[in-house]
Amino acid sequence: DAKTTQPDSMESTEGETVHLPCSHATISGNEYIYWYRQVPLQGPEYVTHGLQQNTTNSMAFLAIASDRKSSTLILPHVSLRDAAVYHCILMNQGGSAKLIFGEGTKLTVSS
């Protein structure tokens, strides 16, 4: 799978809208962009995914650049429960099923 690049950490305050960037300059046409998050002592949690169009669900809004070389996970009105490490990965749904996480972005939320 192609590589993604994310900032090591970001800080926010409760109630803010957080933008988590991800760069994937070598993404191929059949690769989807997936986001997972993980808090300490728990398993990873699926957040959202997209291919080309922006997507939204109850957890987040995923904005995908028109050239697909970058994306941004937008978390509206964050709470303390949103503090986690957020992983942006690329998945080819015809390829291996295994998840490969990088370091991700550690999001800190303060009250």
Binding interface with other proteins (CB under 8 A): 32, 34, 41-46, 49, 91, 93, 96-102
Shortest distance (Å) from residue 99 CB to other proteins: 6
> Which residue in the block uniquely carries the two structure tokens 């291996």?
96
Of 29 and 97, nearer to other proteins (C-beta) is 97
Nearer to other proteins, 21 or 44 (CB): 44
CB atoms within 10 A of CB 87: 22
Query: Taking the complex as a whole, how short is the minimal distance between the CB of residue 2 and other proteins, in angstroms?
Result: 14
Cβ at position 56, least distance to other proteins in Å = 16
Please tell me the distance from the alpha carbon of residue 71 to that of residue 97, in angstroms, as a whole number: 22
- Residue with smaller CB distance to other proteins, 34 or 83: 34
Tell me whether residue 12 or residue 62 sits nearer to other proteins (CB atom).
62
Residues 6+ apart with CB under 8 A from 15: 77, 78
> How far is Cα 30 from Cα 95, in angstroms, rounded to an integer?
10
Which residues on neighbouring strands pair with residue 76, listed in sequence order?
A: none
